Amino acid sequence: MDGKTNTGLIKAMAWSGVIVVISLAVSYWLMGFLPPPSPDLPAEAIKAIFIERKTAIRIGTMIECVGYTFYLTWAMSIVLMLRRMETGLPVVSWTSMANAGGGYVLFLIQPFTWAALAYRPELVDAWFLQIMNDWVWFTFILSWAPFAVFMVMIGIGILRDHNTPRIFPRWVAFLNFWCALAISPATLIEFFKAGPFTYAGVIDFWFIFVVFFGWMVVMTFVTVKAADRMKLSQQAG
């Protein structure tokens, strides 16, 4: 890669991940989805929630539609670092680039669907609204595997880094492998309507969300630090 890298832009892209985390926390709090409504609630109760909170849900999804957009810029800041780690055919960074685009779409499906449900909730049959609300949570949580692949790609890229010193420390690789494994219980949400493995449960909501968004925060900081080191190296060169 010839020429000097715009490290300031990479840092801005990395920090944009914080916008994603804040958008989720604020919107969920505003919509009253911390914790989510239990999947064990009857359909009429779910419909009542959407009617009662329709304005809050519209505002919350508006925040998400803007905030979640920055998942792509955040993920691409990491992809750019992965590219600098590779020699030859950039398999890891290309795979991660495609993954980032797919993950960005999965993020946006949630607010799109909730916004549509809150647009005319009084006219929607309770059973349909309940199923579509399930669909939103399934899309957001059951889609763990592509994000786990991104984590694994990051870990592989770090361990194969040809740079001295490494762009990311080795411990970041093992953190990514652990996070990929830690979010895997998300696959169980389709089997339970009550308990810790539902999309409102202690494991498949609270634990997985803490792991995933904690991972985003950690990767933000290590990417910003890597960009700072890269800038110093360019200045020294």
141 domain residue, yes or no:
yes
237 domain residue, yes or no:
no
Q: Identify the pLDDT of residue 1.
A: 40
For residue 186, give both structure tokens.
């998300």
179 domain residue, yes or no:
yes
Distance CA 200, CA 205 (A): 5
236 domain residue, yes or no:
no
Q: Identify the pLDDT of residue 3.
A: 55
151 domain residue, yes or no:
yes
Name the one residue in this structure whose structure tokens are 């110093």: 232
Distance CA 194, CA 205 (A): 12
Given a contact cutoff of 8 angstroms between Cβ atoms, the answer to whether 17 and 70 are in contact is yes
**Cα dihedral 42/209/180/73 (nearest 10):** 120
Q: Identify the pLDDT of residue 236.
A: 64
62 domain residue, yes or no:
yes
Contacts of 76 (CB under 8 A, 6+ apart): 13, 97, 100
DSSP string, 19-30: HHHHHHHHHHHH
Contacts 24+ apart (CB under 8 A), 191-199: 192/39, 193/38, 193/39, 193/40, 194/38, 194/39, 194/40, 198/38, 198/39, 198/40, 199/36, 199/39, 199/134, 199/137, 199/138, 199/140, 199/141
Amino acid, res. 146 = P
The pTM assigned to this predicted structure is: 0.92
Give helix 208-236 / helix 170-182 axis angle, nearest 10°: 160
For the chain (237 residues), the mean pLDDT of every run of 10, in chain order, is 72 95 95 93 96 97 95 96 92 93 90 96 95 95 95 96 91 98 96 95 96 96 92 67
Given a contact cutoff of 8 angstroms between Cβ atoms, the answer to whether 155 and 95 are in contact is no
Number of separate domains in the chain: 1
DSSP string, 82-106: HHHH--SS-HHHHHHHHHHHHHHHH
Distance CA 95, CA 93 (A): 5
C-alpha pair distances (Å), 99 with each of 1, 20, 89, 120, 146: 22, 17, 17, 34, 7
Nearest to 112 by CA among 75, 57, 173, 153: 57
92 domain residue, yes or no:
yes
Residue ranges making up the domain that contains 106: 7-231
